[in-house]
Structure 1
């Protein structure tokens, strides 16, 4: 399917922030994905969602994109991932727990009675827009709740001044690569797969989607925004080019060492050295959570069991 926008990637960090700075778009996205009866939304922070007392290591904050707060005080962390990370779900749980903890600390400073702290404590939800698949099956949208094991009763909570209880926890994954036409989901959710997946819309977009799509039009961007996007694209392309270069360089270095050490014996040793350099580099990416073990093994043409010995 042809892309809607040829010169822009809707999942790049800068673009996601630009989209959700528009509070009308942010509100509609959250309402569609979480089915919450919200009337307004405001962007709390687009770079760093945690306050100073959260004690979250800086490494955990790299990927967090947006924190939106609704008029019923519910908060939604919007997280986008381009590459599959082994511990991504662990990180989501850390983001969520730390945000709840920060809300408690904030309420402690403002509320005199302990009961008021829990009365006003908002739920925190997460939506993850991912460019690599995380779950088995064909479902492109996965929603996780807390439910009773045998009765399937959902655990809910009351929020101050709200008329009814709302889910205690919701984590929604949008797996962009699982998108295909005629998915068996509410189109209000599907259209966001089309939006962030840069697919053609299969139904006439309403005013909010048109407004969101206009934010992707580079002709409407400032010179500074274009410069920042070009720099981000350059860095992203450089990263993948560096990875490919390192692999090729490892092979070339192996040949050089082999020639220096002797034609028959040395070439074999040199190629092996270059191969080890490449394997170690890929292993470091896996250990750092930038690649899965499966992806690393595929890049090296090894089985996962063979690759395991280098981790």
Structure 2
């Protein structure tokens, strides 16, 4: 297929991986229970959606530090599941998942602390697992699905522990679904296949079961409330503007690099070429950051929203806003 040719999609105007759409899907406990069973192979009897968006503020050295996850669910045995959908590629994404799990464990301990003895508190802990649905590739091999937990480096034996309501379980684990790598011939499990195909938003290659049909119905915008449609339109507008801005920044950045390269070649000095390229990249990136932030600020986005969407520190966003009187 021509790389420029667009792939066929089931829902041209939205994607199951969009933030508010994914939350709408996982707010249905039956769907979340099936998804967790399919991915983690846990014997899930029921599931409780704790929060669609969890924001935790902690007393760290750096004021304003917080973690926010897409969906947090709790199984009938107390196990907590963090579900994170990531559309763009971020260099520190794996670190962020680790912070989510660590912060959730710490938060659970604080919440249960009261006047209990430390050894009792530890015995009442429950596992925390994280599932990441990724539109971009994060791992070098061709596997679309992988799970990672703590294991003995020599024997490969998993580290297990007893918990309050479950026995002999990994204390923490990660599962990754890289959507772009999916190949139905390389993913043998039907229950995993169906969720891969659902989130890829391309025509189904396999029969759908009642769970996926129910999830598909949630993507029918004619059944949405007026408030949901308005929220979606605003999210879509912000995303379109963000993508257009990033495309322009990328173009200008590449143009700046090319100009510096040509300038260096004219001088005929290898050292001059390298320094010119480095300076062009640095200036282009700084200019690009400022252009992106200003465009989003003028479009009504708050500094916190910009920081969450772009991974630019909120302090940097506010600094750019003040410098440009926005």
Do they superpose with TM above 0.5?
A: yes
Q: Aligned to 1:74, which of 79, 87, 95? A: 79
Aligned length: 271
**Residues 44-59 of structure 1: pairs in structure 2 closer than 5 A:** 44-50=50-56, 52-53=57-58, 55=60
Q: 1:135 aligns with which of 139, 144, 167?
A: 139
**1:164-223 CA-partner distances (Å, limit 9, x unpaired):** 422222101111111233223312112211111112222222111111111111111111
Answer yes or no: is the 8 Å Cα contact 1:84–1:290 preserved in 2. Answer: no
Note the residue ranges of structure 1 that are not aligned, 5 or more in a row: 254-271, 292-311
What does the per-residue CA deviation read over 1:37-58, in whole Å, with 9 as the maximum and x for residues that have no partner? 12111111112243x4464975
Aligned-residue offset at 1:150: 1.2
Q: What aligned pairs does 1:78-157 form with structure 2 within 5 A after superposition?
A: 78-109=83-114, 112-157=116-161
Q: 1:72 to 1:139 in 2, by over 3 A?
A: same
Contact in 2 for aligned 1:44/1:69 (Cα 8 Å): yes
1:42/1:68 contact within 8 Å kept: yes
Q: Secondary structure at the match of 1:166?
A: coil
Q: Distance in 2 between matches of 1:46 and 1:128?
A: 15
Contact 1:60 1:91 in 2 (8 A): no
Alignment partners' CA distance in 2, 1:57 and 1:124: 26
Structure 2 length-normalised TM: 0.74
Measured after TM superposition, the shift of residue 156 of structure 1 is 1.2
Structure 1 residues 17-28: aligned runs within 5 Å? 17-28=23-34
Residue 175 of structure 2 corresponds to 172
CA gap 1:245/1:77 in 2 versus in 1, 3 angstroms: same
CA 1:197–1:169 in structure 2 vs 1: closer, same or farther (change >3 Å)? same
Deviation readout 1:39-95 (Å, 9 max, x if unpaired)? 111111112243x44649756535x20001001100011111111000111111111
> What corresponds to 1:244 in structure 2?
247
Secondary structure (helix, strand or coil) at the match of 1:280 reads helix
Q: Distance in 1 between matches of 2:25 and 2:228?
A: 13
Distance in 2, Cα, partners of 1:151 & 1:275: 46
Distance 1:58 1:66 in 2: 21
Residues 94 and 219 of structure 1: CA distance in aligned 2, closer, same or farther (over 3 Å): same
1:188 matched to 2:211: no
Native 8 Å contact 2:9 2:202 kept in 1? yes
CA RMSD, 1 decimal: 3.2
- 8 Å Cα contact 1:73/1:122 also seen in 2: yes
Q: Tell me if 1:214 matches 2:220.
A: no
Task: Say if 2:41 is the partner of 1:12.
Answer: no
1:260-275 alignment runs, 5 A limit: none
Secondary structure (helix, strand or coil) at the match of 1:68 reads strand
Return the alpha-carbon distance in structure 2 between the equivalents of residues 181 and 118 of structure 1: 42
Give the SS at the match of 2:72.
strand
Q: Which protein has greater RCO, CA pairs closer than 8 Å, 6+ apart?
A: 1
Higher alpha-carbon deviation: 189-198 or 244-253: 244-253
Asked if the contact 2:58–2:65 (Cα under 8 Å) also holds between the matched residues in 1, the reply is no
- If the length of structure 1 is used for normalisation, what is the TM-score? 0.77
